[in-house]
């Protein structure tokens, strides 16, 4: 499932191809994904210019002319295909933007957990998918103190709390485990027992793992985004995620990575160096 770095990579890849271009035609091939496509979406998009493409949490936001914003969420299995010429016809190619210069971008989503919406830019803050989101991890106003104030209001363990989009936006299962490892904090530590220094280390670790993943997504972009490219997933090295039974990268042969279940999701960590 794409997390913040993957979505950031998708947004940057889309920006490279689509920004400044005009939508010739949109193809909406189903009534819905996880949510219904907005009524009249294709006719509303026709002729609009793509001004800027960005991201909020795990949502790609395309700022269009007429003060409209097109939101795209990749869900569990969504990816973006880019191409030139005839629009793709695959059975999962549910939504396609065809540009006036012949470029196209297609949302392919076999499991259909993704969604697409179109709304007025001025209503963005009140949008049901965006309104309850916590700060972005890179928000300069988010410092250790504020992060701690948000954390201590939570009752349970730290790992599921990091994945709570209302607490901090964009973090999923992978980068929560990776950041806790970097910060040497055990995933089952209660949130309200963390010290300010630990919150500071955790926030730094979150930013570092996300930055590194975005950088490796960026190098994937340079290597792989051709006109027939695909956006959504890239190879990235993880220290603990998916490494159950492997030696801990810090403790070497003295400890190996454990997997535990928390709120139904796997957490990976080292019992020896994460406290």
Q: Is 191 near Zn ion (CB under 5 A)? A: no
Among 1, 144, 239, 255, binds Zn ion (CB under 5 A): 255
Residue 267 beta carbon to Zn ion: minimum distance, rounded to whole angstroms: 14
Closer Cβ to Zn ion, 222 or 252, answer by number:
252
Closer Cβ to Zn ion, 27 or 251, answer by number:
251
Among 200, 251, 259, 260, binds Zn ion (CB under 5 A): 251
Q: How many residues bind Zn ion (CB under 5 A)?
A: 7
Site for Zn ion in 209-248 (CB under 5 A): 248
Residue 248 beta carbon to Zn ion: minimum distance, rounded to whole angstroms: 3
Q: Is 197 near Zn ion (CB under 5 A)? A: no
Closer Cβ to Zn ion, 161 or 270, answer by number:
270
Active site residues: 2-3, 58, 265
Using the rule CB under 5 A, give the single segment among 80-88, 166-174, 217-225, 265-273 that binds Zn ion. 265-273
Q: Secondary structure of the chain in the HEC alphabet? A: CCCHHHHHHHHHHHHHHHCCCEEEEEEECCCECCCECCCCHHHHHCCCEEEEEEEECCEEEEEECCCEEEEEECCCCCEEEEEECCCCCCCCEEEEEEECCCEEEEEECCCCCCEEEEEEHHHHHHCCCCCCCCCCCCCCCCCHHHHHHHHHCCCCEHHHHHCCCCCCCCCCHHHHHHHHHHHCCCCCCEHHHCCHHHHHHHHHHHHHHHHHHHHHHHHHHHHHCCCCCEECCCCCCCCCCCCCCCEECCCEEEEECEEEEECCEEEEECCCCCC
Among 44, 250, 259, 265, binds Zn ion (CB under 5 A): 250
Q: Is 152 near Zn ion (CB under 5 A)? A: no
Using the rule CB under 5 A, give the single segment among 74-82, 130-138, 187-195, 251-259 that binds Zn ion. 251-259
Residues forming the site for Zn ion (CB under 5 A):
248, 250-251, 255, 270, 272-273
């Amino acid at each position: 499932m794409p997390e913040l770095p993957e979505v950031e990579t998708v947004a940057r890849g889309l920006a490279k191809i689509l920004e400044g271009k005009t939508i010739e035609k949109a193809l909406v091939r189903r009534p819905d994904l996880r949510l219904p496509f907005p009524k009249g979406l294709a006719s509303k998009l026709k002729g609009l210019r793509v001004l800027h493409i960005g991201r909020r949490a795990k949502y790609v936001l395309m700022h269009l002319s007429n003060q409209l914003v097109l939101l795209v969420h990749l869900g569990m299995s969504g990816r973006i295909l880019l191409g030139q010429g005839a629009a793709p016809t695959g059975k999962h190619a549910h939504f396609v933007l065809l540009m006036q210069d012949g470029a196209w971008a297609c949302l392919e989503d076999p499991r259909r957990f993704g969604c697409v919406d179109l709304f007025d830019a001025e209503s963005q803050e009140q949008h049901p998918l965006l309104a309850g989101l916590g700060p972005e991890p890179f928000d300069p106003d988010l410092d250790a103190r504020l992060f701690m104030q948000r954390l201590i209001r939570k009752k349970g363990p730290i790992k599921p709390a990091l994945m709570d989009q209302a607490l901090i936006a964009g973090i999923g299962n992978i980068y929560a485990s990776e950041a806790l490892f970097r910060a040497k904090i055990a995933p089952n530590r209660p949130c309200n027992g963390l010290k300010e220094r630990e919150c500071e280390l955790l926030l730094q670790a979150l930013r570092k793992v996300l930055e590194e993943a975005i950088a490796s997504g960026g190098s994937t972009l340079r290597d792989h985004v051709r006109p027939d490219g695909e956006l959504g997933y890239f190879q990235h090295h993880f220290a603990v995620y998916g490494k159950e039974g492997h030696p801990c990268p810090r403790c070497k042969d003295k400890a190996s990575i454990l997997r535990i279940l928390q709120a139904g999701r796997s957490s990976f960590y080292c019992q020896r160096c994460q406290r």
